[in-house]
Amino acid sequence: MDSHKITRRSFLKSSTAVVAASATLPSPARSADRPARRPNVIVILTDDQGYGDLSCYGHPFLKTPHTDRLHDQGVRLADFHVAPVCTPTRSQLMTGLDCLRNRACCVPGGRNILRRDVPTMAELFRDGGYRTGLFGKWHLGDCWPDRPMDRGFDRAVWFRGWGLQSDLEFDNDYEKTRYLDQMEVKQTRKYCTDHWFDEAIIWMDACRREGKPFFCYLPTNAPHGPLWARKEDEDKYADAVASAQAKGKKAKGGRGGGAAAFFGMIANIDDNLGKLESFLEGSGLRDDTIIVFFNDNGGTAGVRFYNAGMRTGKGQVYEGGHRAACFVRWPGGNVSGGRDVTPPTHVQDLLPTFADLCGLRAPDGATFDGTSLAGPLRASGAKIADRMLVVQYGGRLHPVKHDACVIWGKWRLVKGKELYDIEADRAQSTDLSARQGEVVKKMLDHYERWWAQVAAMQARYLPAHIGSANENPVILTCNLWQGVDVDNCHRVAAADGGPVGGPWNVHVERAGTYQIELRRWPFHADCTLSSTGPAKTVAGRPLTPGKAVPIAQAVLKAGGREQAAPARDADKGVTFRVDLPAGPGQVHGWFRDAAGKDLCGAFYAKFKWIG
């Protein structure tokens, strides 16, 4: 387990080996001086929208005119790759490092926190004199020192977890959304995507009035499920989806809606892009603003209707799992013109690219796995050095060797044994490995060298910090259980995760007595331990009842001892007091019935240092 004091300006001695390992990989050229007029930067990242879910890429009925305009006016990274799921894509964007190196490589299982000794994109912008703002999904840590405000954002309008129906949000809704403004809990009456864009525009306009350059990160939770669209947006696609279904295509729907809602959510994002464009034009910011749009992983609910000819979707290492749309526009910086950058690129390239375009300086010793694309973005004749890229994440719980795609020009080496020519065979239907042994060997050799750099660090988990004066108490959820996959409200409601759940890895900031309360349901839900959980969302939408578990006893293992305490029918939680030494450790809580049988883990725990 890693534990250390938190730093922002330099690498710790414990990371020296990792830095040395990545130092041989491409790193960005650095400008000797910052540009005289630094551009603003807006990064828009959509959640679970696929490469094919755009009309500019040939979708048969989805209309995305404002996104298409970015495609037409900007520079297209035509062979752009992200991670197959959301947390690692976000961690790679923020650090310029492969997710197995920055350590936030999974959604569940305690592997979704960024290394704290590497600089983030927001920190580089902030230290370069920019105002920094996040509006929407963070998903790289819910508690100090991993919140967006701790990792470089001056302003954060955000929510915890991966979405508005994650394990922690649970009863949240896309309408009347509950969210955090810094750490103040608020609720909006707007549709969530409208709210993120509106708040971002208000903040950007304030930066403009103050004459400050800004970095605005706008990661939407839409169109990720649950598929809850505004009715007027869903209605736009009801007939088209019904027609497609009648022709034998089935939608991959979700609770609260199906494919028509999914496409309606994308249409709403597109409308907000139009609103953003009107703001940039009307405020005079358009020419001096870099705007980047991309999606975070392979397709989901839209794949069965159209997937741009690719194989599979989200979560997979075939092309459909990680190829993404990416459009970059900066009229005042000669990054425009509706042209393509054709060599393979990946999300790790964006941070070193911004460092070059905006004159940002990384701390001494920092390196990137990505390389700067500033040259090819500005000049059509500029080249990208021949290189191989590795797409791999942690799977559901931990990384497995060869569960990856190695990219080299037109070649894709999948799972260490299947080889495809993506230019001739985008559907990856013909394995050429038997005929192209030399290509396979070169790509396998590259992967072996890469794996050797990152494999050892996968045995360690980054701990959650408790007892700090910066945040006390701290609530931890089942999403951080080591090696156990319970990351959403549906799995919590079903009491998944085994009879004892999993342990939390923690770093105790202050030695002393801790009050630890274990709960079955979220603290804000105000539900008794053995109840069926929240009955409706914050917007009044009915929720499916959860599994009632006959809890009669809570068990806590912490500080070198195990103790049990009774639970009454009216109890919402069970509280323990335990003395903990400073430093790394584990805490594990679960529930039993009256006969002493283990039932389920404690999905939520509140840790409070009391002296």
Contact 497, 578 (CB under 8 A): no
How far, in Å, CA of 419 to CA of 431, rounded?
Answer: 5
Dist. CA 40–CA 200, nearest whole Å: 13
C-alpha 273/C-alpha 63 separation (Å) is: 13
**Local structure of 173: helix, strand or coil:** coil
**DSSP 8-class letter at 166:** B
Whether omega before 226 lies within 30 degrees of 0, making that bond cis, reads yes
Q: Apex CA 367: angle with CA 361 and CA 372, to 5°?
A: 70
Residue 536: DSSP 8-state: B
Residues 184 and 161: beta-carbon distance below 8 Å: no
The C-alpha angle 545, 547, 548, rounded to 5 degrees, equals: 105
First to last CA, the chain: 25
383, 403 contact by CB (below 8 A): no
8 Å CB contact between 273 and 70: yes
CA angle (274 as vertex; 273, 277 as ends), nearest 5: 85
Helices and strands of the chain, counted as H and E runs: 13, 27
Short-list 384, 360, 359, 333, CA closest to 74: 333
β-pairing, 323-324 vs 80-81, is: antiparallel
Q: What is the 3-state secondary structure (H, E, C) of 286-300?
A: CCCEEEEEEECCCCC
Class for the domain spanning 38-363: alpha beta
- Give residue 381's pLDDT: 84
Residue ranges of the alpha helices (H) in 74-218?
86-95, 99-102, 121-127, 192-209
Contact 241, 263 (CB under 8 A): yes
> Could you tell me the CA-to-CA distances from 112 to 140, 233, 398, 478, 482 in Å, in that order?
6, 33, 11, 12, 11
Secondary structure (3-state) at 41: strand
What is the C-alpha to C-alpha distance for residues 478 and 604, in angstroms, rounded to an integer?
6
Cα–Cα distance measured from residue 143 to residue 134, given in angstroms and rounded to the nearest whole number: 16
Helix (H) or strand (E) holding 44: strand 40-46
Residue ranges, comma separated, of all CATH 2.60.120.260 domains in the chain are 464-609
Q: Which residues on neighbouring strands pair with residue 541, listed in sequence order?
A: none
- Which residues lie below 8 Å from residue 141, measured CB to CB, with a gap of 6+? 112, 113, 114, 147, 150, 151
Tell me which residues of the chain have a pLDDT lower than 50. 1-34, 251-256
CA distances 7 to 199, 314, 351, 459, Å, are 30, 34, 20, 23
- Which are the contacts of 346, defined by CB distance < 8 A and separation ≥ 6? 80, 81, 82, 92, 370, 389, 391, 407
- What residues have CB less than 8 Å from 153, skipping those under 6 apart? 122, 126, 132, 133, 134, 217
What is the C-alpha separation between 324 and 100, in angstroms, rounded?
Answer: 20
pLDDT at 14: 30
pLDDT recorded at residue 396? 81
Helix, strand or coil, per DSSP, at residue 221: coil
d(CA 40, CA 214): 5
What is the second-level CATH architecture of the domain 464-609? Sandwich (2.60)
Using an 8 Å Cβ cutoff, are 512 and 610 in contact? yes
Task: Measure Cα distances from 403 to 415, 439, 451, 485, 556 in Å.
Answer: 5, 18, 11, 18, 36
Q: Dihedral through CA 161, CA 166, CA 172, CA 173, nearest 10?
A: 110
DSSP per-residue codes, 386-452: ---EEE----SSS--TT-SEEEETTEEEETTTEEEETTT-TT--S--TTT-HHHHHHHHHHHHHHHH
3 state DSSP class of 538: coil
Strand partners, 506: 464, 585
pTM over 0.85: yes
Instruction: Indicate the DSSP class of residue 468.
Output: B
CA–CA distance, 169 with 178 (Å, rounded to integer): 9
Where do the CATH 3.40.720.10 domains begin and end in the chain? 38-363
